[in-house]
Structure 1
Amino acid sequence: MVSEGMILADRYEILSRIGTGGMSDVYKAQDTKLSRFVAIKVLKQEYAENANFVTKFHAEAQAAAGLIHSNIVGVYDVGEDKGLQYIVMELVEGITLKHYIEKKLRLSVKESISIAIQMAQGLECAHKAGIIHRDVKPQNVIISKDGKVKVTDFGIAKAATSETITSNVMGSVHYTSPEQARGGYSDEKSDIYSLGVVLFEMLTGRVPFDGDTTVTIAIQHI
């Protein structure tokens, strides 16, 4: 159980919870060694207890830590303490693209293109390093208070087992590529397709395909 004031790894002081997702909770913390604020993503218990998932989670986090780009949320550290599996990331004060779209309903062509270009630049950096995101969606894009667009959660989707994907797919299936919908191999083009869906949503305020179940939505992408 994470609580305010808790110290992880004799270094990170938990200050407050700032977000939650299907697989993890996110906290604002103080790095007491480097005197800076960071974001710490802590895996929820059901995933932290899955040894296979944890191994992949650490491997993907280590790969993502090598990505240094202004349009990517930086990964600083990954570890385990007090039974908690966590990843330490750059703290970006801002709003997710999903919330931004919900707030504005539709974005202008100029703003949509600007955001898409910044996302593409971050993805290009990852692709050149051989890393595929696999879960590009507005929830994984943060717009900072100064307008900088940053993509986050690289590699987390790859770490997920089929069980974890099943529990989280509803939020991602709207952006899935045809090959992912078929259960096939993902590559750079998968991320580009998902980016196109995000651009469509920014311009129109809605996703191109919708339905009552994940299956009916996925089929429309094929």
Structure 2
Amino acid sequence: MEMYEWLLTALKQAFREERLLKRSPRGSVHLLRHEAGGQRFVLRRFTGNAEVYRRLLHCTCRNLPAVYEVASQGEENLVLEEYIQGDNLGDLLQGALFTVEETRSVVDQVCRALWVLHDLAAVHRDVKPENIILRGSEAVLIDFDAARLYKPEEDTDTQVLGTAGFAAPEQYGLSQSDTRTDIYATGILINVMLTGEHPSKKLAEGRMGRIVTRCTQVNPKKRYQSVLQLMEAL
């Protein structure tokens, strides 16, 4: 609690809010600017569990935003993280589709980000175009508000979170989400980048379509079992 109050005070003294980036039932995301240095940062305020953000505090990966501060007060959380300036993949897909090579490049980098998360025993649970920023040639996976740590002793997730169309069947209470949950969503991502559609409506052609089909099997045991396997297939 002391850390929470300290961070709130520090933010008010040293930063000014530029604009609200997103608001949801669980919280909000704000763009801040440091008064002295002029650098921009993202402040996340949300209810739930911030344990994944805490594990990312000392993590360095070019395909993930740096997390600088995490503070909690009960169910309320504050997270100060790096602002990734670039193009939102969801916005880009409103105007055009991606080639196979472009898709491979972006998804390979998303897999690298997921490999780091999975190595921390974390599952993102919300891989989708709107949570990917293209910073030049780099793809950065953002927003870990729905992320959770995998807990072997549990049978199901304690909270149903995710985005319809991208969420794997187990996210709806069938079983506990794990690394293969993110592989399912990544398969949907590949298909949307190539066709603009969910694979149930239009499946990508050729080898990429076969990869999508393997990623999106209802039974997690029939999917790729790690992002390294998916990267090799790509």
TM-score strictly above 0.5: yes
Aligned mate of 2:106, from 106, 112, 115: 115
Structure 1 residue corresponding to 2:183, chosen from 147, 170, 192? 192
Map of 1:156 onto structure 2:
146
Can you give the 5+ residue segments of structure 1 that lack an aligned partner in the other structure? 1-5, 48-52, 211-219
Superposed displacement of residue 21, structure 1: 4.2
Could you say what secondary structure the match of 1:70 adopts? coil
Larger CA Rg, structure 1 vs 2: 2
Change in CA separation of 1:189 and 1:174 when aligned onto 2, cut-off 3 Å: same
- Say if 2:56 is the partner of 1:64: yes
Deviations 1:52-85 (A, max 9, x none): x2xx23x23212323310011221112369xx74
Deviation at 1:118, TM superposition (A): 0.8
1:97 matched to which residue of 2? 89
- Map of 2:171 onto structure 1: 180
| Conserved 8 A contact 2:184-2:217 | no
Deviation of residue 119 (structure 1)?
0.4
- Return the letter of the residue paired with 1:147: S
Q: Secondary structure at the match of 2:93?
A: helix
Q: Which of 195, 201, 208 is matched with 1:204 structurally?
A: 195
Which string of whole-angstrom CA distances, capped at 9 and with x for unpartnered residues, describes residues 180-221 of structure 1? 2453112111111211110011001012247xxxxxxxxx97
Q: Which residue of 2 aligns with 1:217?
A: none
What is residue 213 of structure 1 aligned with on the other side? none
| % same residue | 22
Q: Using the alignment, how far apart are the partners of 2:72 and 2:147 within structure 1?
A: 20
Task: Name the amino acid aligned to 1:207.
Answer: H
Gaps of 5+ in 2: 1-8, 150-156, 202-215, 219-234
**Do the aligned partners of residues 209 and 7 (structure 1) sit closer, same or farther apart at CA in structure 2, a change above 3 Å counting?**
farther
Separation (CA, whole Å) in 2 of partners of 1:80 and 1:13: 21
Q: TM-score, normalised by structure 1?
A: 0.71
Pick the aligned partner of 1:19 from 19, 22, 31: 22
Relative to structure 1, the CA distance from residue 37 to residue 185 in structure 2 (aligned partners, 3 Å threshold; closer, same or farther) is same
Distance in 1, matches of 2:106 and 2:44, equals 24
- How far apart in 2 are the matches of 1:138 and 1:107? 12
Whole-Å separation in 2 of the counterparts to 1:123 and 1:183: 22
Shift of 1:39: 1.2
Which secondary structure does the structure 2 equivalent of 1:150 belong to?
strand
Q: Paired residue for 2:130, among 139, 142, 147?
A: 139
Aligned in 2, Cα 1:24/1:97: closer, same or farther, shift over 3 Å? farther
C-alpha distance in structure 2 between counterparts of 1:155 and 1:63, whole Å: 13
Q: Which has the higher contact order (CA 8 A, sep 6+)?
A: 1
SS in 1 for 2:98: coil
Shift of residue 155 of structure 1?
5.5
> Do the aligned partners of 2:55 and 2:120 also contact (CA within 8 Å) in 1?
no
More helix by share: 1
- Cα pair distance change 1:96/1:197, threshold 3 Å: same
Q: CA RMSD in A?
A: 2.9
CA distance in 2, matches of 1:155, 1:126: 13
Q: TM-score, normalised by structure 2?
A: 0.68
Corresponding pairs, count: 187
CA deviation profile, 1:69-105 (whole Å, cap 9, x unmatched): 0011221112369xx742111111122211111121x
